[in-house]
Chains A and B, each alone.
Chain A
Amino acid sequence: MAESLLVGAVAYTPNIVLIWEGLRDYFADGPIETDFVLFSNYGRQVDALLDGTIDVAWNTNVAWARTVFQTDGRCQALAMRDVDAAFQTVFVTRAGNEFDELADLRGRRLALGSRDSAQAAILPVQYLRDAGLADGEVEFVRQESDIGKHGDTGRSELDAIRLLMDDEADAAAIGINTWEAIGREELMPGALAEFWRSPRYSHCNFTALDTLPEDVRRPWVEHLLAMSWDEPEHRRIMELEGLRRRWVLPDMEGYASLFEAIENQGISPRW
């Protein structure tokens, strides 16, 4: 059995240090000692996973897809947050714009987040295609504010909403987490309105290569899933990491729409 596991995470906020020092301390009492290293972007992190520098990567769904493509599927998802199993993209507009469905965006301007963000760029384009809108029928106004971090900072989505509020776009596609963070329609009544919400899909997961031994994987995952919302010290970490209540086993079906979108849009497995 491996004596320790090295996990990679992308440093998109200073709280990543608090989160991972907390997780490291939590795992110090568990069956597999765990340490962490931070990366500036998901590209570097996936490279480090592939070359064996790290054992596990805390990946976005796009980074997961990259890992699958580059290993021909010889990788595994270990666990995810409860919120990762129920992620959604929300299309919002200014209150008063009479949009009822995606087809109403024909001939209008849609603000998108960074192009490597599943929730605010890749999947929204796919949703438009699925709704019968041909390329060019909707004008994209892209906000590339956090390239490399796959939309984790939320910055490009906030920029997209600013465009919408400044009437430089007619709608914006954002992640459900950003929509929640700005208080949905409740904090700004009469300002913004949601007019379409995507089906649920899967977001982040802990990714390992398929060479990770089973006698390491199982106890590590079991110990992760044993973190309790009712334990104040666990909860502090879980709240910072954005969990609603618990870690869960990955919902693999929830990645199907992203893989379809990547293939459909001809997105490179490396970028």
Chain B
Amino acid sequence: MVSVPAMQRNKVILDLVERVGPAEAGQVVEVPLGPGQQGLVERWCERAGHRLLAVEGDVATIRRGPIPDDDAMLDEIPVDRQPGARLWIYTNFDCNLACDYCCAKSSPQAERRALGPDRIRELVAEGAEHGVTEIFLTGGEPFLLWDLDEIVAACAARAPTTILTNGMLFRGRRLDMLRAMPRADVALQISLDSATAELHDLHRGAGSWQRALDGIRTALREGFRVRVAATVAAGEAGADEIAAFHSLLDGFGIDRDDQVIRPVAHRGFADDGVTLTIESLVPEVTVTADGIYWHPVTAGHEDQLVSRSLFPLGDAIAEVRRRFAAYRWETRTAAQRFTCA
């Protein structure tokens, strides 16, 4: 025969069914707890498909299920954009330019904070084992590194690799380094903000537009796939400017899919721009010498730090996927709760 206190303790199950059962899916419900009832609540939530969010004092906070598993939430994203498919690597943070909207605060004065080929080799090997299908090398300006060819070879051996560059340094030994890189799985993404020098040079420095244009020509001549990315501040690029940009790049024979126009992010040096939060970004795992971050545009920002430790990378990828699925679920259920009519 069960004791009276034990019978009373078990009644929490009835409270749970009564309070959580009628709640709307996704709703957070608080259930009062007595002594010794937490274990029962945990077991009931697991069995019933709800999520125990917290037990504080004498209250259990529970999210009403059904809660889709993480894979189901992630499957709503195209496979090549799912968190963990893309791996961004900040090879270094120093740069020959000091663009006024740089999200990474790179400049000639920035510390290098290079990852180095050995760690990058280990990262991409581990990444490939955990679903990374595309690698992006960025900075800073990667072509400031004398061992970039070694880094690129290590990456391209694992997955198609894109190097983000301002395209201004393809001369002398650095041109030799470029020429030594494989063509098959390597693309260059060169920054060019406008069809004419004025706007580009306004943010990136005098003469930089012409040198970027020369870099595009060099990369194409050397047989690389070239993607061109423009970073555009609000109100600076109207339809005419965008049409001229596309026209210029069409003239180079660059595919429209490789002509990227994106807004300035309100991060780093930028005084204005699109506000980006963990909840609003589809994460793209980003490794720097300082840690692993949620997205390349927020690298170095504490609010989007995933892990200080670079290894094991698989753990960080799993954590990003888990958190993204949870945010997505919360956003969806919040939207359902806060419909206005």
A binds B: yes
CB <8 Å contact, A18 and B25: yes
Chain A interface residues (CB < 8 Å from chain B): 13-15, 18, 94-96, 153-155, 158, 161-162, 165, 178, 181-183, 186-188, 190-192, 232, 235-236, 239-240
A13, A18, A95, A191 interface centre (most CB from chain B within 10 Å):
A191
A165-B11 in contact given A187-B43, A232-B75, A236-B68 (Cβ < 8 Å): yes
Q: A155 to chain B: which residues have CB within 8 Å? A: 18
Complex Cα–Cα for A89 and B68 (A):
30
Bound: A155/B21 CA distance, A: 10
A191–B10 touching, CB < 8 Å = yes
B24 to chain A, nearest CB (A): 4
Instruction: Say which residue of A96, A165, A186 sits within 8 Å of B1 (CB atoms).
Output: A96
| Chain B contacts for A186, CB-based, 8 A | 47
Once the chains are docked, how many angstroms separate the CA of A235 from the CA of B76? 14
Query: How far in angstroms is the closest Cβ of chain A from B121?
Result: 37
Known: A154-B21, A181-B21. A239 touches B2 (CB 8 A): no
Minimum CB–CB distance for A115 against chain B, Å = 20
* Residues of chain B having any CB pair with chain A under 8 Å: 1-2, 6-7, 10-11, 13-14, 17-18, 21-25, 40, 43-44, 47-49, 65-66, 68, 72-73, 75-76, 336
Of the A-B pairs whose beta carbons lie under 8 Å apart in the complex, a sample of 11, sorted by A's number, is A18-B25, A94-B1, A95-B2, A165-B11, A181-B17, A181-B21, A182-B17, A183-B44, A187-B10, A191-B6, A236-B25
**Distance in Å from the Cβ of B69 to the closest Cβ of chain A?**
9
Given A182-B17, A188-B40, A232-B73, 10 new contacts (CB under 8 A):
A14-B22, A95-B1, A158-B18, A182-B14, A187-B10, A187-B40, A188-B13, A192-B10, A232-B68, A239-B66
One of B22, B75, B336 near A18 (C-beta < 8 A): B336
For the complex, give the distance between the alpha carbons of A235 and B71 in Å.
13
Chain A residues with Cβ below 8 Å from B10 are 165, 187-188, 191-192
Q: Chain B's nearest CB lies how many Å from the CB of A116?
A: 19
Q: Indicate whether A235 sits within 8 Å of B2 (C-beta atoms), given known contacts A154-B21, A187-B44.
A: no
**A13: min CB distance to chain B, Å:** 5
Bound Cα distance A15, B21 (Å) = 10
| A-side contacts of B23, CB under 8 Å | 14
Whole-angstrom CA separation of A259 from B11 in the bound complex: 35
Q: How far is the CA of A152 from the CA of B43 in the complex (A)?
A: 24
- In the complex, the answer to whether A94 meets B44 with C-beta atoms within 8 Å is no
**Contact yes or no, B2 A191, CB < 8 A:** yes
Within 8 Å by CB of A235, from B17, B24, B48, B68, lies: B68
Expressed in whole angstroms, the Cα–Cα distance for A18 and B18 within the complex equals 19
User: In the complex, which residues of chain A have a beta carbon less than 8 angstroms from the beta carbon of B47?
Assistant: 183, 186-187
The 6 closest A-B pairs by CB, nearest first: A239-B66, A96-B1, A232-B72, A188-B10, A14-B24, A190-B2
Chain B residues with CB under 8 Å of A192's CB are 10
> Which chain A residue lies CB-closest to B41?
A187
Hey, which chain A residues are within 8 Å of B75, CB to CB?
232
**How many angstroms between the C-alpha atoms of A15 and B64 in the bound complex?**
11
A257 to B73, CA, bound (A): 43
A145 to B146 CA separation, bound complex (whole angstroms) = 78
> A239 touching B49 by the CB < 8 A rule?
yes
Residues of chain A lying within 8 A (CB to CB) of residue B18: 155, 158
- Report yes or no: B17 in contact with A158, Cβ–Cβ below 8 A: yes
Q: State whether A15 touches B24 (Cβ < 8 A).
A: yes
Given A15-B25, A191-B6, A154 contacting B17 (CB threshold 8 A): yes
Instruction: Tell me the bound Cα distance from A157 to B213 in angstroms.
Output: 76
Which A residues are in CB contact (< 8 Å) with B72? 232, 235
